[in-house]
Amino acid sequence: MSILTINKSKFATDLSFTDTKMIIQFEDGRELSVPLEWFRKLRNASKEQLTKWRFIGKGEGIHWEELDEDISIENLLE
């Protein structure tokens, strides 16, 4: 009998947006969709402002300088 081990990563590799969601891609291939409604600053931001992000660390967090917003990836996974 074989046992499958799945190694889950907490590091994001890419980020995209729809009109209502933030979509985070992880280095292990998973994807997480989160409502923008959860984040007041992101909810009220323009499409241009949303695209001006950068990863913190190795993808442990996301930072928007213009919006003064930081989001921890680990907190989104809890």
| CATH 3.30.2020.40, domain 12-77, yes or no | yes
| pLDDT tens-digit map of 43-60 | 999 999 999 999 999 899
Which residue matches tokens 């949303």?
50
Q: What is the pTM of this model?
A: 0.84
User: What pLDDT shows up at residue 5?
Assistant: 62
Cross-strand pairs, 16 = 23
- Candidates 65, 57, 64; CA nearest to 73 is 57
CA angle 45, 27, 36 (to 5 degrees): 20
How far does CA 56 lie from the centroid of its chain? Answer: 11
Which residue matches tokens 């931001």?
45
Residue spans of the domains in the chain: they are: 12-77
| pLDDT tens-digit map of 7-44 | 677 899 999 999 999 999 999 899 999 999 999 999 99
